[in-house]
Structure 1
Amino acid sequence: MTDASSTTAVPRGRALWESFAPLVVDAVLPMAAYYTLSKGFGMGTVAALGWSSALPAVRTVWGLVKDRRLNGLAALILVVNIVGLLLSTVSGDARLMLAKDSAVSSVVGLVVLVSAFGRRPLMTTGLKPWVVKGDPVRLAAWDRLSAGDARFRRTERTFSLVWGTALLAECVARVVGAYTLPVDTMVWLGNVILGVAIVAGMLVGGGLAADPMEKMVDAEVREGAGLAKGVETAAPTAYAGSAAQ
């Protein structure tokens, strides 16, 4: 029988990429597509924004089809994207299309904040691969802590609270920019604002939640290893005692 602990762990770099790769599709590629279509092919502002906004929607649908399971956060972003795109197309207002991205952040931010007080905070999906590193032993330690350690659960909620707040702050900044700055400026500046919010979420969330949770998982792994070693040591001793009798 194969021991779960012998399973090859996923490298941390790969776990990090799997957690944050969607940001490349949702931010970098749409920005590049917008400038390519508008500046390179002379497409209108609204049309360029519409086609570039379709990329994150396609990515979300593909993720749902590929994984064959409903991810609450991905589904939420997809719905907001579709509604915002339809409203923007009907109105023909490029600024509304830019503000739509802020609507995504605000709705997602609010849902993340609410989920922090529920059974499973939404941001745990992105945090867990980073902490467990694809290691079955660390995964088991995470599950034990999540099921019965009050401090671990509070820290898990804190991570979602930090990210929910960061997303709401990003929303306010982008809405103000969408209606006060030129459209071409906000196409790239909006992604800068998003990047700042992400960095802030990573730094603050890391200091308040991710790092402490990683240390708790480390301690749980060591404790589990110590208990297993104690059992292995005790078993031969008990056997020797019974044989002597």
Structure 2
Amino acid sequence: MTKTTGNHGGTPSALDNFKPLLIDVAVPLGSYYLLKEAFGTSTFAALAWSSVVPAVRTVWSVVKERRANALAVLILVVNVVSLLLSFVSGDPRLMLAKDSGVSSTVAIGILVSVGLGKPMMTEAMKPFLVKGDPAREAAFQRLVSGAAAGSAVFRRKERVFSVVWGLVLLAECVARVVGAYTVPVDTMVWLGSVVLVAAMVIGFLLSGGLAAGPMEDMLTAEAEAGRAERPAVAVAA
């Protein structure tokens, strides 16, 4: 009888599940705002330096794993596009509208990933569903791989989750662009943040009700079924 401790060779922990999201999204976005707001660097410099992490991660993925990390590539593209747009200055409304380019690029990337059969938002949602529990991790893998009875419904909900976020971010982009050219500049400076927060709240509510909630129920049931089967297998052995 062997006993395994920790996560060596086993199911990834919750931290392991969060790492791609932290590296690809939180670090570049966080470093951008830190450099721009706390250290007072220019928008161009902040975008340039915050692009370093996704750029290195993209190159490393290609060299080591022979494949490109989709989320890292997307964040890198967003930053490069923003850098190019930053060369255009002198129009405050254009600068306000430029900020919505992040939402639109991410939204399109998410929707395209659904069309390709690899919903991009799954990695962001997965840690909240598996909660670092090996049984739930195994159940999640069975459901997404088609090995479980409810796999078809689970994978449909998985796509719905990403579609909701893609459409919400796209709508947020449109709202901010319209606001940039119709609302007074001084008002839109703070209203843009309000629109973003509102979009996030709507995204969480819709994706939770239409996809994440039902998926969590299915995952719990599948994990319990897996736990129930293990003792029976052990007795038979």
Q: TM-score, normalised by structure 2?
A: 0.76
Match of 1:75 in 2: 73
Match for residue 33 of structure 2 among 26, 30, 44: 30
Residues 31, 50 of structure 2: 8 Å contact kept? no
Q: Write the mapping of 1:100-179 to structure 2, written as runs, cut at 5 A.
A: 100-148=98-146, 149-179=151-181
Say yes or no: does 1:60 pair with 2:62.
no
Distance 2:69 2:194 in 1: 27
Post-superposition offset of 1:15: 6.5
The structure showing larger relative contact order (alpha-carbon pairs under 8 Å, at least 6 residues apart) is 1
Distance 2:131 2:111 in 1: 25
Match of 1:191 in 2: 193
Q: 1:72 to 1:15 in 2, by over 3 A?
A: closer
Post-superposition offset of 1:176: 1.8
Greater mean alpha carbon deviation, residues 197-206 or residues 150-159: 197-206
Distance 2:159 2:193 in 1: 27
CA-to-partner distance for each residue in 1:101-147, whole Å, 9 max, x for gaps? Answer: 21221122122123223321111111112211222322111111011
Distance 1:24 1:5 in 2: 27
Residues 51, 79 of structure 2: 8 Å contact kept? yes
Q: 1:176 to 1:147 in 2, by over 3 A?
A: same
Aligned residues: CA RMSD: 3.4
Residues 15, 130 of structure 1: 8 Å contact kept? no
CA-to-partner distance for each residue in 1:208-238, whole Å, 9 max, x for gaps? Answer: 1112111111111111111111122334xxx
Match of 2:94 in 1: 96
Greater mean alpha carbon deviation, residues 109-118 or residues 92-101: 92-101
Residues 111, 163 of structure 2: 8 Å contact kept? yes
Post-superposition offset of 1:28: 9.2
Distance 2:21 2:171 in 1: 22
Residues 31, 188 of structure 1: 8 Å contact kept? no
Q: Gaps (5+ residues) in structure 1?
A: 38-46, 236-245
Residues 164, 206 of structure 2: 8 Å contact kept? yes
Q: 1:102 to 1:154 in 2, by over 3 A?
A: same
Distance 2:215 2:206 in 1: 14
Q: TM-score, normalised by structure 1?
A: 0.74
Which structure has the larger Rg over C-alpha atoms? 1
